[in-house]
Amino acid sequence: MKAFFSDHQSRHAPALELQNGALVPHAESQARVDAIKSVLPDLQIPADFGLDPILAIHDPAYIDFLKRAHNDWLAAGRPGDAFPYVFPVRGRRPLNLSRIDAELGQYAYDCGTPVAAGTWETVYWSVQSALSGLMHVLNGAQRAFAFCRPPGHHAGRDYMGGYSYLNTAAIAVAHAQANWVGRVAVLDVDYHHGNGTQDIFYDRGDVLTVSLHADPKMDYPFYWGHADETGSGQGNGFNLNLPMPRGTVWSDYKTTLQQALERVEAFDPELLIVPFGADTYVGDPISFFSIETADYTEMARMIAALGKPTLICMEGGYALDALGANVSAFLKGFEG
């Protein structure tokens, strides 16, 4: 299986994040890159597809903000990474505010996703890795792995959060549908709900979004990912959330995954996109499932058994000592 990654994706290096009331070292670090690269020695350099595929999903004003946010932060006399600290009240009218503090709050929904000096360059090339993997599949390969970094599935059309700035999976969906593909299914197997992906496609009937994740009554992102969120309008019935409790072991996860796969099979997509997070691992420092390394191979085999052309996009996974092995085990299941 070909894997795509650009060294530009190492430029994003935020120092800190606000977690549970404390500033702590940012979990989405270069160490994740090193761990995964150690098991993927033959990474392909992605092609540059430009901004148009990104703008097919994301609001132009938001993209402009991402490109200049850190420079505006420095111009305002602030040190380090650009952090939001104030957020709009829900339901109030949007305002055209130009101060960087107001824009950060307008476009972010948490304090764990700062804009650093290299953020735009990194997220831009993360998208190019996803698009290169996508085109490899559309050109006849059965599957490809896009080593997207940072994650993308929490990003919406005009907002960032959950370490996510651009929604790589959603951009891949849009680009696939602009290039010969009709129905696309997104099967998200990260520990956290892919709220941005759900939001983007919530009223669409030609894109099925399925997410297996920790119950948002207890875990991030809290305000999205509940089982009663099934889509709206033409998208009614085309969003499936399968929340599970903390401590979920493979035997229970496997049963839920089978339910998800049956829904995907019934939809009969022409393309499957799998946002994969290794943060379901039992030793992950910020997540609370109990999946073992060997389980990822069986997980992948179950997904591969659908027989659909598949693009895998990397999402979370923060247990650095096991991250490479977990990614390798997952990809091994597809090769089998």
User: And the tokens for 255?
Assistant: 């049963």
Biggest alpha carbon distance in the chain? Answer: 55
User: And the tokens for 322?
Assistant: 């096991």
SS3 (DSSP) at 213? strand
The catalytic position among 26, 70, 154, 175 is 154
User: Which residues, at least 6 apart from 303, have a Cβ–Cβ distance to it below 8 Å?
Assistant: 187, 189, 257, 261, 272, 274, 310, 333, 334
User: Annotated catalytic, 8?
Assistant: no
SS3 (DSSP) at 82? strand
Q: Closest Cα partner for 93 from 84, 104, 83, 106?
A: 106
CB 53 within 8 A of CB 174: yes
CB 167 within 8 A of CB 197: yes
CB 166 within 8 A of CB 189: no
What positions carry a catalytic annotation? Answer: 154
